[in-house]
Amino acid sequence: MTRRGEFEQIAALFAPLTRGDPAALGLRDDAAVLTVPPGRQIVITTDAIVAGVHYLPDDPPDLVARKLVRVNLSDLAAMGAEPVGLFAACAFPRTCTDAWAEAFARGLGEDGEAFSVPILGGDTVATPGPAVFSLTALGTLPTGQALRRAGAAAGDLLAVTGTLGDGAFGLRAARGELDGGLDAESVAWLADRYRLPQPRLGMGVALRGIASAAMDVSDGLLQDLGHLCRASGVGAEVTVGTLPIAPAVAALQGRDDWLEVVAGGGDDYELLIAVPPHRRDALLAAGQAAGVAVTVIGHCTAQTGVRLRGADGALIEGLGQGFRHF
């Protein structure tokens, strides 16, 4: 079966995704040329996804591409940046068909349109191993206004956007491991949350000048909160009863591992935010303006370490610490 060559593939599938942005130079050169507006800084992030690790090998290719876009945009959101361009490096298996690559490119285009961000460059190669897709996202923000993991102080409130546990239970839903525990609509909703996370770009921008620290929850609340605390030199206390839970996840509460999945599971891509107490109203107003639910779940402490407490105030111990690659 004849397949497109590298440059035919770039011209046919990826050049249209530049959305006419002059920085891309039509994808005919080896690099893009980007002009940064005065008074703004560039924010750059890179995330990769691997077949069988970050997505299921039989996931639809357009959804694989859209997840790739969204996990990177989530990093920009956590920094308070507005996206301006994407660079995609695609290692397609030699067994990959033109139809699969076309659907993948279509997914990139759909989310490029949805989030008004063009493809400015990248690379395409063949691999004998599993598919690997890496995306570098560029954003800008006013000079000196980047949200950092460092900056939280003892006494700051901790909050999250959206709901927790959706991504981890969504992976189980996508694998068909929740049969009998939920209705079909809830199973489909959870699988969609795993495959198509929602980057909180508007909320990230709204947090500039409000949050003392922020990051996104990709590897589980407890692990990522630990990262934020270590960067800021503080500890944290979170109460289980305050964690925001979607109805589909609440329906699974009888499972023995329910709390471990909610507090330690990854793939939610919600924002974890620290704010001084006097900015609580501003935080909630920012969420309302961005159309994103925001829930206060705890506070930062002078004592280091992350502590999870039950409704009775007792410490809950022995939970896993989230997803780790190594």
The CATH number that applies at residue 195 is 3.90.650.10
Q: Are strands 213-217 and 270-275 parallel, antiparallel or unpaired?
A: antiparallel
Residue 179 has pLDDT above 90, yes or no: no
Considering its fold, how many domains does the chain have in total? 2
In this structure, is residue 323 part of a structural domain?
A: no
Of the candidate ranges 22-26, 82-86, 156-160, 212-216, the one whose mean pLDDT is the lowest: 22-26
What is the residue-wise DSSP string for 116-146?
Answer: T--EEEEEEEEESSS-EEEEEEEEEEETT--
Confidence of residue 325 (pLDDT cuts 50, 70, 90): very low
For residue 92, the surrounding DSSP H or E stretch is strand 82-93
Distance CA 125, CA 128 (A): 10
- Give the CATH number of the domain where residue 103 resides: 3.30.1330.10
Residue 174 has pLDDT above 90, yes or no: yes
Confidence of residue 220 (pLDDT cuts 50, 70, 90): very high
Distance CA 45, CA 136 (A): 6
Q: Bigger pLDDT: 115 or 29? A: 115
Instruction: Tell me which residue range forms the domain holding 78.
Output: 6-142
- pLDDT, residue 22, reads 76
In this structure, is residue 120 part of a structural domain?
A: yes
**Three-state SS at 95:** coil
In this structure, is residue 66 part of a structural domain?
A: yes
In this structure, is residue 23 part of a structural domain?
A: yes
For residue 35, the surrounding DSSP H or E stretch is none
Residue 321 has pLDDT above 60, yes or no: no
Residue 42 has pLDDT above 80, yes or no: yes
- pLDDT, residue 14, reads 74
Q: What is the pLDDT of residues 101-110, one digit of tens each?
A: 999 999 999 9
Q: Bigger pLDDT: 219 or 28? A: 219
Q: Are residues 33 and 134 in the same domain?
A: yes
Q: Are residues 203 and 66 in the same domain?
A: no
107, 142, 177 - which closes a domain:
142
Q: Are residues 21 and 117 in the same domain?
A: yes
Q: Are residues 19 and 64 in the same domain?
A: yes
**Three-state SS at 176:** coil
**Three-state SS at 9:** helix
In this structure, is residue 324 part of a structural domain?
A: no
Answering whether pTM is above 0.75, one says yes
Q: Bigger pLDDT: 247 or 18? A: 247
Residue with the two structure tokens 């007792």: 314
Give me the mean pLDDT over the 231-256 stretch: 96
Confidence of residue 23 (pLDDT cuts 50, 70, 90): confident
Q: Are residues 172 and 273 in the same domain?
A: yes
